[in-house]
Each structure stands twice: as C-alpha cells, then as structure tokens.
Amino acid sequence: MPQRVNQIYYKETIENRSNSKDLLFKAGDFVIVKRGIPRLLILRCPCGCGDDLLINLDKRSGKAWRLYSRFESFSLFPSYWRDTACGSHFIIWENRIYWCYRTNELDEGWRVNERIENKVLEVLKENEYRHYIELADECGLIPWECLQACKQLSRKGLCISKNGVSKEQFKKSTSKIQ
C-alpha cells in the first residue's frame, strides 16, 4: 500500500517543466513552473502512487487553479480531484493536505481565528447572499479561510447560508440567536 502524506513540500520555482524530474523525490514534493506568471504546479502525488500531477495555474490554457503563497506557505483553490488512476481528491491549505472523501466535504480539523471571522463579517451583507470566493477576494483571504469563517459565523448565528446542497453563499444574519 502506498503511503499517503498530509503535507506538501516546496522545492523550487523553475522555468522549464522538464527540470522537475530532478527535484521531486517523495510524495508531496512540488515545484512551481513560472515564466513571467505561474504556469503550472507539479506535485508528486501525495497518495504515494508515484505519479506527478500537473496542476494548471494559467487561466489562458483552460481550467486553472489559484495558488496562494504566504512566506512559503501554499494553498490551492479549488480542491484537486484526479478522475483517473489513483483518483486522489484533496485540498491544499497552508501546506497541509486535507483528503476529501465526499465532494468538497471539509476536514474536521479546520479552524480560523476571530480576526478572520471579523474580516468576513465586515463584508457580509444583510440583504444579499454572496459567494465565499467573492468575499475572500474582497478581504484578501484564501477562499478556504473565508468558507471556514462563514461556517463558524453560521454556528454563532451571525450569518446564514443559502439553502441548498452546496452552501456556498452567505449573508449576514439580521437577528442574533440568543
């Protein structure tokens, strides 16, 4: 059985993707291919299957993921779901891998602090549902942080999510739960 990892390891930023072979050794190792702008993230599959995943970061070449980096702490949005071979499905948030077992079902261990909650609370509206990606962009947050903040605020009765399975849109609650 291949060994799953719960962490990604930044190696280097390179210009040419063919150089990645010499830089990736173990599950979770990754390089960023950048020419002017980030083009590709090459990740040795964290499931341990040994394949390298090519994750597009360049909108001009089709469906692209967003890569967030803060002091060598990397987050990827949305989740990565490989529909062939090992079928890995995971979220990368601040260098950690959160394995998904159902569609975008989030790991129990997620938590953001009150400062982030307050940032989100400031941009939530009372009369209009807004998608958490839009809210994240406005606050300069990683969408995962923003989604988690919305969930925490919902539990406190400070915001509500639009009915439906996806629960991606939120608005400020007009009355606090006592």
Binding site for Zn ion (CB under 5 A): 45, 47, 49, 86, 88
| 135 vs 39: CA distance, rounded Å | 25
**How many helices and strands (H and E) does the chain possess?**
3, 11
Could you identify the residue written with the tokens 């060598």? 72
> Is 88 or 148 the residue whose CB approaches Zn ion more closely?
88
> Is 53 or 142 the residue whose CB approaches Zn ion more closely?
53
Report residue 141: phi and psi, to 5°: -105, 160
> Is 90 or 170 the residue whose CB approaches Zn ion more closely?
90
Min separation Cβ 90 and Zn ion, Å:
10
Min separation Cβ 78 and Zn ion, Å:
18
Provide the 8-state DSSP code for 106: P
Min separation Cβ 1 and Zn ion, Å:
12
The rounded radius of gyration (Å) of the Cα atoms in the chain is 18
